[in-house]
Each structure stands twice: as C-alpha cells, then as structure tokens.
A and B are shown apart, each in its own frame.
Chain A
Amino acid sequence: MKATEFIVNALRKQGVTQVFGYPGGAIMPLYDALYDGGVAHLLARHEQGAIMAALGYARAGARVGVCIATSGPGATNLVTGLAEAMADSIPVVAFTGQVPSALIGVDTFQEVDILGMTLSCTKHSFLVEDQNDLDRIIAEAFTIATSGRPGPVLIDIPKDIQLAVMANETVSELAELPPLDGLVDEQVAAARALLHAAKKPVLYVGGGVGMANAVPELRELAAALDIPMVSTLKGIGSADPEHPYYLGMLGMHGLKAANLAVQESDLLIAVGARFDDRVTGKLDEFAPHAKVIHLDIDACEHNKLRVANVAITTDLKLILPALKMTLDIAPWRLHSLEMKVETAFRYDHPGIAIYAPLLLKQLSASLPEDHLVACDVGQHQMWTAQHMTFTQPENLLSSAGFGTMGFGLPAAVGAALARPDAMPVVVTGDGSIMMNIQELATINRAKLPVKIVLIDNQRLGMVRQWQTLFFDGRLSQTILDDNPDFVALAAACGIPGETVVVKEQVQPAMDRMLASKGAYFLHVQISEQENVWPLVPPGVNNGEMLERYDEC
C-alpha cells in the first residue's frame, strides 16, 4: 500500500467525508489516491478558496476542516487561511505536497519552506520524513486541531514519501482524548463570591462558548442569573437573542447599550473571550470599575490584556453550571433594559435609497429557520452583526479576529456542504467579493444553493469611512466606481441574479432570491456615503461612541 492510500484511509478513520483542495505537481500522488478513495473532494478555484471553504465547513458543521494543496505557490496560498484559523480558533488540518526529500533545500521548482513559513500561524506543523510516521502524525494532527483551544495544523509531505510503500497498512485505532482537569473548588468559590457581591455584573460572551459546545450551559446560566449580557463578534448567537437583558455586540461598532453597560459594570464575567482590542477600545479605560472573572480553556489568554481577579482555565461546559445562583440586582437589570430601549437602532431612514441596516433586518426576518450566513469583512460585516439576529453561533460565519476580506464566499461553499439542509447566505461587499470572486465558479460547479447578497457602495467602505472621519476626507485608493457588472459576472458563472437600487425593490427581490432553488446573486446598490454607526474612535474608551447625529 502506498502512503497516499494510507493517508486517505487515515482520513476516513478520523471520520472525514469531505475535503477541499486544488491539485498540483507535488501533491499528485495524494490526488491519485483520492480519485477512488471514498472521500469527497471539492475543487476550489484557488487554494485560498479551498482553505476558506474548509474553515466554513469546520465552523458551520462543528468538525475538522481538511484542505489539500501542492507545494510552493499552492502551499503559500493557504497561509492566509491558516492565519485566519489561528486567529479564530478553527480546527483545520492542511496537507501540502513538498518536493522530493532529496531536493529540499536546493531551490527546486515549486519548492518553499512552508513549515518554516507557517510556524507563526499554525498550532503545530509536521514535515513527514518517513512514511511509517504517517499513522502517528495524522492522529496527532487531528488531536491537536480539536483539543483545548482548536486551531490549524499543517502536514507537509514530500512527494517521494507519498509514493513510498507502507510497512504497516493498518490505521491505528483512535485514542481517546485525556480528560480535562476538573474544577478547583477554591476558584469556583472565589468566582461565586465575586458574583454574589456584584451589583452591576455583565456576562461578556465570546466565541469560545460555541467552540466548547457550551451554548446550552451558557443559556441556562444566563436564565438563572438573569443578567445583562454582551457578545463579541464571534460570540453572536451564543446568548439567546430573545433574553431581555441581552444587549448585543460590544466594542468598536458595538451597540451603545452593550458598551455603556460594560463601562458601568462592577463585574465582568468573560466567557471564552479574550479582551481583543476591537472589543476593549482604549484598554486601560475598558470597564474601569469592573472586577473580572475570566473563564477560558486557553491559559495564555488569562492576564494577557486584562488582569483577572479570578481566572479559571477549564472546559466551559464544566464551569458554567457551577456559577448558577440568584442575583439581587433588580435596579441594574432595570437600568440595562432602559439603556437597551433608549438606544435601540432606528430604521426610519429617509429617502428612497436602500438602507443596508434595514435590508439586513428584513433579510434576517425572511430567512428560513435553518440558515447560515457567511460574511466578508468591512461595513456589511458590522451591519450584519448589528442588525441580523442569530440563534446559534454556527449560523454566523465571520472572519472576526483576522478580518480576512474574501472569507465569505468560499466559507459559504464549505458551510453549504457541512449543513446541506440549511440555506447558505453570503453577505458581502464589492471590495471583499473580488478577493475570492473565482469561487462563483465553484458554486456553479458544485451546484450549491448559495444566496449571495452583495452590498455595493462602489467603495472600500470601511476604509473610506475612516478616511472621511479621521484622514480629512482624503479618499486614497478606496473608490471602486469602475467595478465589474456583478450580475453579468455571476451570470457568466451560471448564477442568476438581479440588481436593486431603491427600498421598495428590496423585499420582492429578496423573496425571489429565497424562493429560488439554486444559487442567486442579489446585487444591492447603496449610497457610498453610508457609515457604520455607532463607532468608537481610536484612542478613546467605549463610552465615547460616535453616532449618526455626530455626522453633521
């Protein structure tokens, strides 16, 4: 048995049924084994599309994403996806072909030191030196990708190793993960004491909740505490959006009530969150009166940016139930509710031009219950986080920590394969979609019913917004008024669509899109002057948000 046949068997043993990739010279032996190996392969049209699809597959379907690329440029095209997976803790195993062992280090055609290049954006990486190590390496790669805080693992395999014959053809049985340490009674007692004493506590929910599969535990805790809650971008969907004291996303483009509650709070319970700069604004003025309970599976996050009064490194499924109690915080609940009501978004936008926040609110209300939304990066991403409603974290796929333009379209491809019963939707912008536009051809090839909503302001909108606000309106390289004809571009890839330009066209067009059986491209033209509000400007605390009325 050749090593590549063994690799495919090992993937099947790991439960892998779908991989993503792009063939090339140094990975041809593995592609030969995939030809009839019993694992489905989706051909992207660029290696970055392949890895983003694997990430979408992993995040939407709560499993490991697997992607494959050849050596050299194939491997380097994966790098952005690996970094994305590192930033957002997404379990992915990437296989790269490498030039034959004897030719490594002599500048061979399509040779690059991908292991050296990706040390900083993988959780771990392997260069296979002996085919008989593959059994151990693949098992370790999947364990590393999924255990603790998930992340990307790279396996680089020289071509001669791929072609070599295995001494042992049997894939080892999967080892069970060692159990995590249990809770420490003193830490739990300390956290409970802080919680019990708090008058203005806030639950600060991050992406770790969904990754830990701890959404039920979080919601049970929130119900017991009846506590104001805020969410990071990746945490959206974890808290029940119907909970009366759920205040929405916090941070730079967070909801005003969420930011004000955190600034006023006397206790923050950070759950699977990491005090990211887009969350905290000016760090030393973030939640200035709050003590901190920090719950995370990764000890590296504790005391990194904000010193915690109690830091607990554990599985969230264990710790969250241990914090249930009744809180005596009626005035704080009432105050939070008043802030939520007083600062709620308004959608009475004047004029006939399409207002993206209203469109996204309409879209959210129109989607079938089983849906997922993949975003790109920029203004539309923030509007999606602010104005759409998500009931599960795996229903919103957004490049949060890394901010990778071009994520949305291929992520939706992978997500559509992970969750074939869910309606896959992409919300993207005219800047972002061009970063991986070639994946329209993948959607057509795989006949995936992806509904693409392109919010087009003929600008790199978020950068344009900052240029307007903070760079004296000098619009350097952000005007895209020569964009391609997007509907024609989609049509060229076999995807029907239409353009809407005024409010009254939106709902009928959206209905046509949602009723269509296959992929659909809804091109939405909006004013280039729309900004994302609120906004915490750089260098100030989250209590000093700019709002729409500050525009004039």
Chain B
Amino acid sequence: MSALGSAFGWLERFCHNYGPKIGRSTIVIVLLALWLPIVLVVVMSFAADGVLSFPPDNLTLEWYFVFLENDAAISSVFTTMKVSLVATPITVALATMLSYGVSRYDFRGKSAIQGLVTLPIIVPLIVVGVALALFFGMINVGGGFWSVVAAHVVRTIPFAALIILPTFMTFDRSLEEASKDLGANELETFWNVTLPNIMPAIVAGGILAFTVSFNEFIYTYFVRGTGMETMPIYLWSRIQHNVTPEVNVLSVVFLVVAILLVLVAVLLTNISRLTMRS
C-alpha cells in the first residue's frame, strides 16, 4: 500500500516538474511524424537525380515538366476528381437523409443504427473490396466509372454519418417548432432553420468523405475493371516499375489538388462563420 502510495507520489511530482516539457515534446514528435514524410516528398519532387536519395544534390523542376507531358498521369488526376466530386454529394445526401430519419422517427432497432452505419469502418477493406467486385460481377455490372463511384459511396458513408448523425441527434428541435409556429411549413422549416444549423456538420462530413474518397485505393482497385485509373491506382502502378522523382511530383500534385478542393469547399460554404455561430 505504502509502496503504491509512494509510487503515486513520485509520479505526481514527476508530472508536476516535467509535465510542460513532456507536453511540448509530445507535440513536436507527433507533428514531425505527421509532416516530415510530406515535407520529404515535396523536397524530393525537386531532386535532380533519377534516384531517391536524401538530401538531393541538385534541385530541378525537370520532373514537373515530365509530369505535365504525361497524359496518363494527368488524366488520372481528373478521373479521381470526377469520382470524388460525384461520390461526395451522393454520400452527403444519403448520410443527411439517414440522420434526419433516425433523429425524427421512432422505429425498431433505431438505437442500433448509429453502430451499424459506422461499424463498417473497422471491417478489413480487402474483404469488402472483394465482396463489392463479386457483387458487381453477380449483377452483371462490370467495372467502370459508376461502379467506382458506388464503391466510394459505400466507403465514405460511415465517415460522413459519423459526423452528421450526432449533430442531428443533438439538434434543438424546439427551433423547428418555433419555425412552424411562425408560419413555415415542414419543407420551409428544413430549408430555413434545420439545414443552416446543421450545415457545419454536413460540410465537415462532406470534406471528410471527400478526402477519404480522394485517397481511396483498395475498393477502387477491386471494382475498377479496366481503364478506370484514379490517381492512387496510377501511383501504385508506377512504383511497381521504378521509383523516380516523378512519383513525388504526382504526390505533390495530389496533395495540392486535395487541399485546394477542400479550401474551395470551406470558402463556398462559409464554414468558419457557421461554426462560430452554432
């Protein structure tokens, strides 16, 4: 007992004395682990040598010109954008409708819905990927754009619902009653009151869904058939042959496009203003 007590006492003194230092070091280590690989990729995209060795001897834009002349690479960027920009609104709409239904109506098994919707996140991706490919084969839908979009919707709905559903569940319903009391019907109330107030969650869910879709590899790999080459798929096929700095250029382009699209979404929806108010 006293040994335990003194151990706690020691721990407490230790935390008291070194707590701020430990906290700061943890932040540095975590941020390095997150950002160092990205910084390396960006730096290496300017490497003059044909091989990946750090630090590069000379810097060059050569590989960016190589990329710009690579039609397959550029078309893969556009394919990815097309898939994600189509899949994300579908996902957001479905997740919003589902959340509205769950928060509004009573039905059997309602409490299980939240778990059932988000649980697929932990199912091994390859298992679902194979299942999707088999399913599309079974219903005689081959690979192609819409198969990939459907797979992306399946992949991203749990993420969008994870954010949108709780917001609906905690939404103050008396705001809707006030709206109806003041003369707005159900549809006007949803449009004027419900939607603006849950918009931050819808945008956040949409951005998360978009980034997951943009990076999606495994489902796409299984259901794409031939010809559909999203950027992650293209990258994968490239590094199987040889690793040149062009792969890094592709990664940088990938990163820039993703960040730009998210920024556009943020600006368009004025999310910072909305989150501030709610």
Q: Does B associate with A?
A: no
A residues apposed to B, CB below 8 Å: none
B residues apposed to A, CB below 8 Å: none
